[in-house]
């Protein structure tokens, strides 16, 4: 029986976070720190004709003003991403054009306003809509159809076709991106907000021509990231450059506005989708064609249509994602990248098909249930989606739904119910962990992973305590530092599956090592036992099936003159996984109430049921799912980055005009799990959940809005004016 796994555990770092003891990148105290402030440009495309920094340089406290004229060249190799102050070229509006470094933040900010720039402007294009004719399939591989989608579409007895749009969106974490860089000779230490310390290290080592050993990246706490810190943005190299040139530590923090061009965004996405079906509801053809924007200098592709191939059983299919170049900064991954966008279109189209067929939308999904992976034909490692549909429908009371739009009311409010499917991969990547088991009955566990909020500190502590036979308070887990063993970026919802498997493996390696020590003694009570037969519990190494036979680990270490033993273990995805399709699934049931006079949509109920392997910590898992729901409400009803295309400039680069849900928008929604006992995905049966929980929400809300109002809004966000 597990003592901790599967039971609620409060965040081990929770008190540190609410008392301010948890240090975020910009909060580290470094002596003799200078402060950098970015000055950003005012045109979308062209070159800098002249830049006058004399006034800024004379301002109080200013140490140096860096521009493209006096910034050393970085070694960027083949990396096409944006590096600041490397040339006079302007690639997007609000591009950094100067970094002012001063004794205080206020002095640097003031002086940044004194930098005068003149430009040679060039015609720019930032509107994806007007560039559609130039859409291209990225890379060299043409998307391959399954079966014969064109022919099947032609002959399908029932068809729907529609076009869907999603506005650009920004991650907007609470913590602004920030770095503090400081050099000792050729050794660089950088405190950075990142989802991958090793990624930042590789990046900076290359930029400055250093050996990776000479770069230490520290990032113990991240105040939200959602993909915005998956790759190094332009500020760490800029900060490190300034610190190197000035021979003193430098800190750079984005302002809220600078965040809008500082790390990427969910791209503007246009999707055409056509579905063909038999009268029974069985899908015979799916053609899904997405286009989204990228920048003029770098290809970013979120694979909008990638989930389409694996959600429903359908023999004929084509799913394409194309790109158009825009004079904007490069988009990036944003929570459930591609999947939430693609599934918005697919799930709404399925709802449209349900109305065409007069089949209940939930029933239509069951008719097309994929019993095996429709793409590869492989069996699922586990898939409890059918149970998700069943439990969700039962809890929601779906049976009482009347099909006709505008048929359900609450007084003068229109009531609508919608359903959608969620899907995300059950990924795992190589990850390493170091466990130190001490004679004093404590353990130190470390891995260079990240915790951007899901509860990684807590779940790793839990797994270590479970398999080292310790109490959670006897385990200290540390992350976010390149001094620790390598771990993948915290992205793709793979951390618990990857790093958790490594913690588990490292704990078992400790057990094995202790057993070897014990059995070096001819009188060992564990003689002849194999590593699999023993376990650690409360400081004893004991036989699983006869706990009265044990050795005390502390005695064992003492006899060997050891204060502790340590093991570094790397977990890898198993070969067995390749024989299966591995995904996590969910179903979301949504109720909205719409005010017919003012078009205001209120999400009054959500039941989200997810099947995502073993639930390690129900408490933090539940928070993850609620977070996804809130994100889905934002995406469906509020969030949009708006560009004035005359200037190619983002207009709502602040939290006043970029709307995100606030507490007043959010009611008490329900998230439940159907646990899957998945022996294939990894030893602990873990699938990720942090992105899955968002995937179906916007579609379910849009379908509920249609059911309430009879109006099919095919463009997110569904703001009141679109309903009037």
User: Could you give the residue numbers annotated as active site?
Assistant: 691
Using the minimum distance from each CB to ligand MOS, give the nearer residue, 36 or 264.
Answer: 264
Q: Which stretch binds ligand MOS (CB under 6 A): 226-234, 238-246, 316-324, 587-595?
A: 226-234
227 binds ligand MOS per the rule CB under 6 A:
yes
Q: Which stretch binds ligand MOS (CB under 6 A): 328-336, 341-349, 410-418, 561-569?
A: 328-336
Among 193, 206, 335, 593, binds ligand MOS (CB under 6 A): 335
The number of C-alpha atoms within 13 Å of 317 and in the hemisphere containing its C-beta is 17
Shortest Cβ 199–ligand MOS spacing (Å): 12
230-289 residues near ligand MOS, rule: CB under 6 A: 230
Element (H, E) at 505: helix 495-519
User: By the 8 A CB rule, do 314 and 368 touch?
Assistant: yes
Rounded to an integer, what distance in angstroms lies between the CA atom of residue 207 and that of residue 30? Answer: 23
Which is it for strands 283-295 and 317-326: parallel, antiparallel or unpaired? Answer: parallel
Among 66, 92, 221, 226, binds ligand MOS (CB under 6 A): 226
Shortest Cβ 198–ligand MOS spacing (Å): 15
Q: Which stretch binds ligand MOS (CB under 6 A): 115-123, 225-233, 424-432, 522-530?
A: 225-233
Q: Can you say how many angstroms the Cα of residue 325 is from the centroid of all Cα atoms in its chain?
A: 24
Torsion region of 30: left, alpha or beta (phi above 0 gives left; psi -120 to 50 gives alpha): beta
Using the minimum distance from each CB to ligand MOS, give the nearer residue, 230 or 708.
Answer: 230
User: By the 8 A CB rule, do 591 and 417 touch?
Assistant: yes
> Is 606 buried (19+), middle (13-18) or exposed (0-12) by CB count in 10 A?
buried
301-320 residues near ligand MOS, rule: CB under 6 A: none
Shortest Cβ 689–ligand MOS spacing (Å): 12
The number of C-alpha atoms within 13 Å of 609 and in the hemisphere containing its C-beta is 21
Among 25, 285, 334, 708, binds ligand MOS (CB under 6 A): 334
Give the per-residue contact string, 691-710, with ligand MOS (x = CB under 6 A; - = no): x-------------------
The number of C-alpha atoms within 13 Å of 252 and in the hemisphere containing its C-beta is 30
Among 333, 380, 396, 437, binds ligand MOS (CB under 6 A): 333
Rounded to an integer, what distance in angstroms lies between the CA atom of residue 603 and that of residue 586? Answer: 19
Using the minimum distance from each CB to ligand MOS, give the nearer residue, 283 or 689.
Answer: 689
575 to each of 13, 499, 579, 630, how far by Cα in Å? Answer: 35, 18, 8, 37
Using the minimum distance from each CB to ligand MOS, give the nearer residue, 309 or 335.
Answer: 335
Shortest Cβ 60–ligand MOS spacing (Å): 41
By C-alpha distance, which of 68, 57, 70 is closest to 100?
57
Shortest Cβ 493–ligand MOS spacing (Å): 6
Shortest Cβ 227–ligand MOS spacing (Å): 3
The pair of three-digit structure tokens given for residue 277, joined into one six-digit string: 């079906």
Using the minimum distance from each CB to ligand MOS, give the nearer residue, 226 or 658.
Answer: 226
73-112 residues near ligand MOS, rule: CB under 6 A: none
SS (H, E, C) 11-77: CCCHHHHHCCCCCCHHHCCCCCCEEEEEEECCCCCEEEEEEECHHHHHCCCEEEEECCCCCCCCCCC
Rounded to an integer, what distance in angstroms lies between the CA atom of residue 188 and that of residue 627? Answer: 36
User: By the 8 A CB rule, do 176 and 471 touch?
Assistant: no
The residue with its CB nearest to ligand MOS is 227
Q: Which stretch binds ligand MOS (CB under 6 A): 131-139, 277-285, 327-335, 574-582?
A: 327-335
Specify the 3-state DSSP secondary structure of 694.
helix
Rounded to an integer, what distance in angstroms lies between the CA atom of residue 300 and that of residue 298? Answer: 6
Using the minimum distance from each CB to ligand MOS, give the nearer residue, 24 or 427.
Answer: 427
Among 491, 628, 632, 698, binds ligand MOS (CB under 6 A): 491
Rounded to an integer, what distance in angstroms lies between the CA atom of residue 36 and that of residue 250? Answer: 7
Helix/strand number for the chain, H first, E second: 18, 29
223 binds ligand MOS per the rule CB under 6 A:
no
Using the minimum distance from each CB to ligand MOS, give the nearer residue, 164 or 333.
Answer: 333
Q: Which stretch binds ligand MOS (CB under 6 A): 257-265, 282-290, 333-341, 714-722?
A: 333-341
492 binds ligand MOS per the rule CB under 6 A:
yes
Q: Which stretch binds ligand MOS (CB under 6 A): 216-224, 332-340, 592-600, 638-646?
A: 332-340
Site residues for ligand MOS per CB under 6 A: 195, 226-227, 230, 333-335, 337, 491-492, 691
């Amino acid at each position: 029986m597990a003592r901790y796994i599967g039971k609620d555990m409060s965040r081990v770092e929770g008190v540190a976070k609410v008392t301010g003891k948890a240090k975020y990148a910009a909060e580290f105290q470094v002596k003799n720190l200078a402060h950098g402030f970015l000055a950003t440009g005012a045109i979308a495309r062209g070159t800098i004709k002249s830049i006058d920094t004399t006034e800024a340089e004379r301002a109080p406290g200013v140490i140096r003003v860096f521009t493209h004229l006096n910034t050393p060249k970085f070694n960027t190799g083949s990396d096409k991403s944006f590096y600041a102050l490397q040339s006079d070229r302007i690639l997007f509006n609000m591009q950094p054009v100067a970094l002012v470094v001063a004794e205080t933040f206020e002095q640097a900010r003031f002086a940044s306003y004194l930098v005068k720039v003149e430009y040679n402007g060039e015609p720019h294009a930032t509107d994806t809509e007007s560039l559609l004719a130039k859409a291209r399939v990225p890379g060299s591989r043409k998307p391959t159809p399954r079966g014969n989608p064109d022919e099947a579409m032609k002959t399908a007895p029932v068809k729907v076709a529609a076009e869907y749009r999603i506005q650009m969106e920004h991650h907007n974490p609470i913590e602004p991106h920030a770095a503090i860089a400081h050099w000792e000779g050729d050794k660089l230490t950088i405190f950075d907000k990142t989802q991958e310390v090793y990624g930042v290290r590789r990046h900076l080592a290359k930029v400055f021509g250093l050996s990776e050993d000479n770069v230490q990246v520290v990032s113990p706490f991240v105040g939200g990231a959602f993909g915005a810190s998956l790759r190094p943005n332009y500020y760490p190299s800029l900060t490190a450059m300034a610190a190197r040139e000035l021979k003193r530590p430098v800190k750079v923090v984005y302002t809220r506005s600078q965040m809008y061009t500082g790390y990427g965004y969910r791209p503007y996405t246009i999707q055409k989708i056509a579905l063909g079906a038999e009268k029974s509801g069985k899908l015979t053809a799916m053609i899904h064609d997405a286009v989204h924007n990228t920048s003029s200098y770098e290809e970013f592709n979120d694979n909008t249509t990638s989930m389409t191939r694996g959600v429903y059983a359908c023999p004929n299919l084509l799913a394409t994602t194309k790109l158009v170049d825009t004079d904007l900064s490069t988009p990036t991954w944003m929570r459930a990248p591609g999947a939430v966008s693609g599934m918005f279109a697919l799930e709404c189209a399925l709802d449209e098909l349900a109305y065409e067929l007069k089949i209940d939308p939930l029933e239509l999904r069951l008719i097309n249930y994929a019993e095996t992976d429709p793409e590869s034909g492989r069996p699922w490692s586990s898939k409890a989606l059918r149970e998700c549909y069943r439990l969700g429908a039962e809890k929601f009371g779906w049976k009482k739904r009347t099909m006709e739009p505008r048929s359900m009311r609450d007084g003068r409010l229109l009531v609508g119910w919608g359903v959608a499917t969620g899907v995300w991969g059950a990924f795992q990547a190589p990850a390493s962990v170091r466990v130190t088991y001490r004679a004093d009955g404590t353990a130190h566990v470390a891995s260079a992973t990240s915790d951007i909020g899901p509860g990684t500190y807590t779940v790793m502590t839990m797994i270590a305590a479970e398999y080292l036979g310790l109490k959670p308070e006897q385990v200290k887990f540390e992350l976010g530092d390149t001094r620790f063993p390598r771990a993948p970026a915290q992205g793709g919802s793979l951390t618990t599956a990857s790093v958790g498997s490594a913690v588990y493996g490292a704990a078992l390696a400790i057990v094995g090592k202790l057993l070897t020590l014990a059995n070096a003694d001819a009188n060992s009570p564990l003689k002849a036992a194999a590593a699999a037969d023993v376990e650690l519990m409360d400081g004893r190494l004991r036989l699983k099936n006869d706990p009265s036979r044990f050795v005390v680990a502390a005695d064992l270490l003492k006899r060997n003159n050891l204060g502790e033993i340590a093991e570094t273990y790397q977990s890898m995805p198993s070969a067995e996984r390749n024989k299966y399709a591995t995904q996590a699934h969910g179903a979301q049931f949504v109720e909205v109430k719409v005010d017919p006079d003012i078009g205001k949509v209120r999400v009054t109920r959500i039941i989200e049921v997810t099947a995502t392997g073993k639930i390690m910590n129900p408490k933090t898992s539940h928070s993850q799912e609620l977070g996804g729901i809130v994100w889905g409400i934002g995406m469906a009803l509020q969030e949009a980055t708006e560009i004035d295309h005359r200037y190619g400039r983002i207009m709502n680069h602040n939290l006043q005009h970029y709307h995100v849900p606030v507490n007043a928008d959010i009611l008490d929604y329900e998230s439940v799990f159907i646990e899957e006992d998945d022996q294939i995905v990894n030893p602990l049966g873990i699938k990720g959940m942090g992105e899955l929980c968002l995937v179906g929400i916007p579609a379910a809300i849009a379908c509920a809005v249609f059911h309430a109002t009879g109006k099919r809004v095919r463009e997110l966000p569904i703001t009141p004016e679109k309903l009037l």
